[in-house]
Chain A
Amino acid sequence: MRVRVRSWKTLAAVGIVGAVAASLAGSSMGAPHANVVKVAIMTDCKGAFAFGYDVDIGGAQAAFAKYAGGQTKNHKKPSAGMTGIKAGGADVQIVGYGCGNDTVPLAVTETKRLMEQLNADVMIGPLSGDEAVYVANYAKSHPTKTFIIGTAGSQDPTMQIHPKNLFRYHGDGAQWNAGIGEIAYKKLHWRKAAIIMDDYSFGWTSAAGMIADFCAVGGDIVKRVFPPLNTTDYSSFVRQLPPPNQVDGYFSAVGGSGTSAMLKAFEQAYGKPNPNQWIGNLFFGFLGADKVVAPKFVGSYVGGAGTGPGLKLAKTQAYENYVKSYYPGQNPDDLFFYNYYQAAHALVMGLQKSNGAVGAALQKAMPRAIPGAFQIANGGLVKLDSRNQAIQDQYQLQLTKNADGSVGPQVVAYVPAVAQDFGGLFKPSSPPPGRTQPPCKKVHTPWQGKIHVMKNGKITNEVIK
């Protein structure tokens, strides 16, 4: 009798475990739906770029609303969701938002969650440079999925890794800075400069643009300093920079929450910084930094990001007005917002051409050129090169005081149709940007001596001399 009770209990325990396993198995198997395109939006919700979460989602969804009939659940909080998107006869379903923290390991788990658990066909994203390096490698081994980079600006994904199913409809970090070195050389008369850059793929690529452009016209970079991303105390790094009386100026490619922390450490080390001695990359003027950093740097030149704040074109203003009415809390000139917007627009165009098909058909149908609110050259179209990388107009900026007393970036220079290779300086066979890459070399960039001065948001015929 005793034995029988025991074996009965054993069976019961085994049965319970079996039932749990079976229910887990059942719940995890999703039935495929016909004519549904599953889209994942990968962005960051933690780390240095946590503020980009709703900005990125808002950008993509604003485009889905405009071009594919999407309906937002909340005009103040894009991440609340969007339904009703249709393109090329297919229902486009946003199956998930990726929540990265700019590090690669989390990008791995989030990418796998979005693409394999939620079975997304298309990813719009990621946000950050090294995440995109991972996603590009991932794309290479998942050829049926399609990847459209959100706003990550590292060079490697399209230049060195270059999977065929990965597209980027915006410039990389180096392209964004095309022309800023020439401005430093000609307008500010810098000859010797130091550079401080985040020690990861985007920081290196952004700095590569500044270094290449500045050295191309004859400038010299005397010191490169690389604080790790997510540094909070920059004092030991700014001490590695030469003091202000030994260089003509400093380039900064420190981003996210680090920008103001770095500048504060600089001020503590060397006193109040002189705006004419600093040129920052896009992080000086965007992404919340405009409230903290910009007021102290009125007059500083700032590298662009493919958007042109204050550009007076009818299509620019139409785009800005639309965004302000659709997602009132969002800044349409913000590069995060605009780049995700462009990516989603490209996807809608691709799906329309592929009649809602995904995989290889969609990759073939992805547009080779898309309209851009800030694009003038090439007939107003952002074109892709042979490596699926955008050739994009760039606007260099200056921090100016607005009529209402606020400080923000305004366009001051226009560099048409900047390609990723900087006229042959960057090649698929050359090492990607790094701490010592590229070296400082006097070369000829396609836009040298042809950078247009902009006044009051209009391009003039005058070039920067």
Chain B
Amino acid sequence: MNPATWTLRQRTERALAALALLFAILAPAGLVSTYWTHQILLSTFFFGLAAASLIFLSAYGGMVSLSQTALAGIAGIVLGNLATHGGPGGTSKGLHLGWDPTVALVAALVITTAIGLIFGAVASRSAGIYFLMITLTYSVIANQTLGSVTKISGFSGIGGINRYTPGWIGDIQAHPNRLYYIALGVAVASYAAIRYIVRTPFGITLRGIRDEPVRMASLGYNVELHRTLAFTFCAFLAAVSGVLYAWWSGQVAPGNVDLPSTINLLVMAVIGGLLRIEGAWIGAFVFIVMNTYITPNTHIPGLGLGGTLFGGSFNTIIGIIFLAIVVVSPDGLFGIWARLFNGAGRNLPLVPRNRLRKNRAIESPEGGGHH
């Protein structure tokens, strides 16, 4: 951590990261409107967390998972069924078990992580497109199960979850800043945890498995076990994200784990860049801001049809951006950022060209792939 040895890009990135963190910490003090803190930034934190779990699997494990959204939804539904009460003035759907919210919270995380372990164990023997399809199947199973088992969810899902938060958190309706700082803290802690894990022997083995699974297996490493454990860890991250979502929105429904929602998380990850964990929050932020401000009623003077770009169709615009990113910068906004510095000719590329051509996700230590 000697700043004198940092490259220009490292300095810039660290300065920006520190500034962003400072901004995030001070934001509720009136830097931005409460809508920005409690909706846009707060949801960036937990959607970014779910996207980070996707990017971790992709960048360090070589597994693109489409089940992170489903796992987040499962955690929310479990929490909703365990924590809410029925009867007059309660919520109207679900099992209404009325557990202590702290116990329900722990149970939701444990159950979802356990489901992740099972999912991961099944999927770990596949790779590439087959892994993608198996995890997509999980998401479809979750969506169909929640939609058709009306005892635990049904079409409307469970509502009013935000009224049943643990006592040590208190009333997040009356004090939304608490949820804001919890989500911020969780996002920072998760980021730190991922950074730590990739440096442990487990993380290094995982990277070895990503690049050369056959060689790692012949060296005696248990490839499936490592993949399963990585998937389980990410299921835990997704579960945390799902709990935060449930507290934030108050409800979880099958619509949260349908195909568009699943794809949305992938789009966030791709926009940010599938190679760096930070990209998760960048992508989530860009996605959420665009989703908020691109509507048929947002008129931007001088743009497109009747003042609204493409008639205000969010899906059209995000689709074009997605295409542009996939074609121009497959490593997302972070790739563009890296290229800005490459133009100056002082730093080596973030991603070596041959790696990109092989279309393989690689880890990117600060300062690029030169070591």
Contact = CB atoms under 8 A, between A and B. Distances in A.
Q: Note whether A and B form a binding pair.
A: yes
B15 interface: yes
B345 to A, nearest CB: 13
A142 B172 CA distance: 12
Interface stretch (B26-34, B48-56, B317-325, B352-360): B26-34
Interface residues of B, number: 49
Contact of A140 (B20, B38, B163): B163
Nearest to B157: A104
A10 B8 contact: yes
Interface stretch (B102-110, B112-120, B147-155, B362-370): B147-155
A24 B93 CA distance: 39
Given A140-B160, A200-B155, A228-B147, A13 B12 contact: yes
B342 interface: no
B256 A105 contact: yes
Contacts of B15: 10, 13-14
A99 B148 CA distance: 25
B292 A117 contact: yes
Interface centre among A17, A28, A431 (most CB of B within 10 A): A28
B19 A18 contact: yes
A154 to B, nearest CB: 8
B208 to A, nearest CB: 35
A105 B255 contact: yes
B8 A130 contact: no
Interface centre among B87, B159, B251 (most CB of A within 10 A): B159
A428 B87 CA distance: 7
B154 A200 contact: yes
Contact of A138 (B8, B156, B250, B253): B250
B249 interface: yes
Q: Is the interface of A mostly helix, strand, loop or mixed?
A: helix
B89 A162 contact: yes
B32 A13 contact: no
B250 A137 contact: yes
A339 interface: no
B190 interface: no
Interface string B77-104: 0000000001111111100000000000
Given A24-B32, A104-B255, A106-B255, A133 B156 contact: yes
B88 A21 contact: no
A9 B15 CA distance: 12
Interface stretch (A108-116, A287-295, A296-304): A108-116
A97 B297 CA distance: 8
B257 to A, nearest CB: 9
Given A13-B16, A97-B297, A108-B249, A228 B255 contact: no
A28 B88 contact: no
B130 interface: no
A141 B162 contact: yes
A379 interface: no
Nearest to A142: B173
A441 B251 CA distance: 33
Contacts of A431: 86
Contacts of A161: 89-92, 159-160
Nearest to B340: A13
A28 B156 contact: no
Nearest to B96: A431
A34 interface: no
A403 interface: no
B177 interface: no
A141 B173 contact: yes
A99 B32 contact: no
Contacts of B296: 45, 99
Given A104-B251, A137-B91, A116 B11 contact: no
A228 B148 CA distance: 8
B295 interface: yes
Given A29-B33, A137-B91, A137-B160, A14 B19 contact: yes
A201 interface: yes
Range of interface residues on A (Cβ < 8 Å): 35 or more
B35 interface: yes
Contacts of B35: 28, 116-117, 119
Contacts of B297: 96-97
Interface centre among B20, B33, B148, B155 (most CB of A within 10 A): B155
Given A28-B35, A161-B92, A137 B251 contact: yes
A280 to B, nearest CB: 20
A130 B153 CA distance: 12
Given A103-B255, A104-B253, A199 B155 contact: yes
A295 B20 CA distance: 63
A429 interface: yes
A13 B157 CA distance: 45
A25 interface: yes
Contacts of A130: 155-156, 253
Nearest to B160: A137
A426 B160 CA distance: 22
A355 interface: no
Contact of A21 (B23, B39, B148, B157): B23
A29 B155 CA distance: 36
Contact of A141 (B11, B88, B250): B250
Interface string A19-43: 0010011001110000000000000
Nearest to B289: A24
A113 B292 contact: yes
Interface in B267-307: 291-292, 295-297
A201 B156 contact: yes
Top 9 closest A-B pairs, CB basis? A130-B156, A103-B255, A200-B155, A156-B92, A104-B253, A428-B88, A137-B159, A141-B173, A137-B160
Given A24-B32, A134-B250, A141-B162, 9 more contacts: A14-B15, A14-B19, A25-B36, A45-B296, A103-B255, A116-B35, A137-B91, A200-B155, A428-B89
18 contacts: A13-B15, A14-B12, A14-B16, A14-B19, A99-B295, A104-B251, A105-B249, A105-B256, A108-B250, A133-B156, A134-B250, A134-B251, A156-B93, A160-B88, A160-B92, A161-B90, A229-B155, A435-B150
Interface of B: 8, 11-12, 15-16, 19-20, 23, 31-36, 38-39, 86-93, 147-148, 150, 154-157, 159-160, 162-163, 173, 249-251, 253, 255-256, 258, 261, 291-292, 295-297
